[in-house]
């Protein structure tokens, strides 16, 4: 072999080695393609938006990653949308009970990651599914509802309060029952006399076909009906309304703004900014379900390779439920704030356990006696 030919072969080997190194580096530096799918958009000012904020927080420190949001208003098409998109993304953030049916998709795509908010998952035959590539986060909404019920009972002047929900999914039934517990606790322990108002024509039917009462709009994106329900409750004398209805809640907000002396308790996130009404504000406080930090935490785990599949149930003991007490973001009295802070510590310690839709009664739960 001539010296010239040997030099050429050496140069080619060096070039090939360099290209392989660049390719490996590019592969190693490839970030995550994230997809969030919702039925009412990521700008609903509530549930979906809080999940989206968790993604945005993650992206602030990971500029090699990206997110695409997909809005599919047909509930029946949400799971098929995941299936159609599964080849295009690395991680799916799926807020809402309607994603419970992704079990087969997750099992058939073990190299993809799924963060399901507000539901565990099942396969096409309805069997529960747990998988290494799936993290489901459900919350003790009854705790958030409890704090809302306390706030309502400790604030009302008319002694009539109510909760307005979107649909009778387990999370919303939990909110309803928790709210009832909070009102009952305040009545029993703090001498209030609040009455919970329900409109029979808007009673909810849960997934098992049971009538759960309450006031259900029947959708999470129907502002018009939300306003109708809000107006009907205000006409019944309610002056504090806890609203857990997604975008439908905007209609309730409108009804409260058009009335006089009516407070609204926000849900899932701090909704004080949405309560602005001229020089005033209709938001009393907001019940919190802290999704954003949990979404961020799981995306970090996927990114750094420490992700572990789990069905997590989150509550006050992990700072995942609560209420807004920050000055300037709520209008609770000092007395109400003190009593709610006292109760928060008892809930966190497990001494008060508000009833959910599956355990205890709203007038007979641990901590009430």
Concatenate the DSSP letters of all residues of 327-341 into one string. Answer: TTS----HHHHHHHH
What tens digit of pLDDT does each residue of 221-231 get? 999 999 999 99
Q: Please tell me the distance from the alpha carbon of residue 41 to that of residue 24, in angstroms, as a whole number.
A: 37
Q: Are 136 and 99 in contact, with CB atoms under 8 Å apart?
A: no
pLDDT at position 7, please? 47
Q: How confident is the model at residue 361 (pLDDT cuts 50, 70, 90)?
A: very high
Residue 29 pLDDT exceeds 70: no
pLDDT at position 332, please? 98
For residues 251-280, average pLDDT: 96
| CA end-to-end span of the chain | 95
What tens digit of pLDDT does each residue of 166-202 get? 999 999 999 999 999 999 999 999 999 999 999 999 9
What tens digit of pLDDT does each residue of 41-96 get? 999 878 899 999 999 999 999 999 999 999 999 999 999 999 999 999 999 999 99
pLDDT at position 27, please? 37
pLDDT at position 26, please? 34
Give how far Cα 191 sits from Cα of 101, 186, 286, Å: 45, 7, 23
For residues 321-331, average pLDDT: 97
Residue 21 pLDDT exceeds 80: no
Q: Are 142 and 122 in contact, with CB atoms under 8 Å apart?
A: no
For residues 274-285, average pLDDT: 96
With b for 16 or more beta-carbon neighbours within 10 A and e for fewer, the 37-55 pattern comes to: bbbbbbebbbbbbbbbbbb
Q: How confident is the model at residue 369 (pLDDT cuts 50, 70, 90)?
A: confident
pLDDT above 70 as % of the chain? 92
Residues 6+ apart with CB under 8 A from 181: 142, 145, 146, 149, 354, 355, 362, 365, 368
> What are the E-state strand segments in 118-227?
121-122, 128-129, 134-139, 160-165, 195-196, 204-205, 211-213
Q: Please tell me the distance from the alpha carbon of residue 307 to that of residue 78, in angstroms, as a whole number.
A: 25
For residues 288-308, average pLDDT: 96
Could you give all domains of the chain from N- to C-terminal order, each with its CATH number? 31-139 (3.40.50.2300), 141-288+333-348 (3.40.50.2300)
SS3 breakdown of the chain: % helix, strand, coil, rounded to 5? 45, 20, 35
User: What's the pTM?
Assistant: 0.82
Query: Which of 117-126, 146-155, 234-243 has the weakest average pLDDT?
Result: 117-126
Q: How confident is the model at residue 4 (pLDDT cuts 50, 70, 90)?
A: very low
> What are the E-state strand segments in the chain?
33-38, 66-71, 91-95, 113-117, 121-122, 128-129, 134-139, 160-165, 195-196, 204-205, 211-213, 240-244, 263-268, 276-277, 280-281, 283-289, 310-314, 321-323
Residue 124 pLDDT exceeds 80: yes
Residue 14 pLDDT exceeds 50: no
pLDDT at position 358, please? 73
Q: How confident is the model at residue 238 (pLDDT cuts 50, 70, 90)?
A: very high
Q: Is 109 left (phi over 0), alpha (psi -120 to 50) or beta?
A: beta
């Amino acid at each position: 072999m001539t010296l010239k030919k040997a030099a050429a072969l050496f140069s080619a080997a060096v070039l090939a080695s360099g290209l392989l190194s660049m390719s490996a580096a590019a592969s190693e530096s490839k970030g995550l393609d994230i997809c969030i799918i919702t039925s009412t958009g990521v700008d609903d000012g509530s549930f979906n938006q809080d999940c989206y904020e968790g993604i945005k927080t993650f992206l602030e420190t990971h500029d090699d990653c990206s997110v695409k949001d997909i809005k599919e208003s047909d509930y029946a098409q949400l799971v098929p949308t995941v299936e159609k998109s599964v080849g295009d993304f690395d991680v799916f953030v799926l807020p809402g009970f309607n994603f419970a049916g992704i079990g087969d998709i997750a099992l058939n795509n073990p190299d993809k990651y799924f963060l399901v908010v507000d539901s565990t998952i099942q396969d096409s035959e309805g069997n529960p599914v747990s998988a290494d590539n799936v993290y489901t986060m459900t919350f003790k909404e009854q705790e958030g509802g409890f704090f809302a019920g306390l706030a309502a009972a400790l604030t009302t002047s008319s002694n009539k309060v109510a909760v307005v929900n979107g649909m009778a999914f387990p999370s919303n039934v939990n909110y309803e029952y928790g709210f009832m517990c909070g009102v009952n606790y305040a009545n029993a322990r703090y001498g209030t006399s609040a009455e919970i108002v329900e409109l029979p024509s808007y009673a909810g039917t849960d997934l098992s076909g049971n009538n759960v009462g309450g006031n259900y709009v029947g959708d999470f994106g129907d502002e018009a009906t939300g306003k109708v329900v809000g107006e009907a409750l205000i006409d019944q004398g309610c002056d504090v309304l806890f609203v857990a209805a997604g975008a439908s809640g905007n209609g309730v907000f409108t009804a409260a703004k058009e009335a006089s002396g009516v407070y609204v308790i926000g849900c899932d996130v701090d909704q004080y900014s949405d309560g602005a009404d001229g020089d005033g504000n209709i938001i009393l406080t907001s019940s919190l379900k802290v999704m954003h930090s949990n979404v961020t935490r799981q995306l970090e785990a996927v990114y750094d390779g420490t992700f572990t599949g789990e069905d997590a149930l989150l509550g006050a003991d992990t700072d995942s439920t609560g209420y807004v007490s920050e000055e300037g973001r709520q209008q609770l009295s000092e007395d109400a704030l003190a009593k709610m802070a006292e109760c928060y510590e008892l809930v966190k310690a497990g001494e008060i356990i508000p009833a959910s839709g599956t355990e205890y009664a709203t007038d007979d739960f641990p901590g009430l006696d």
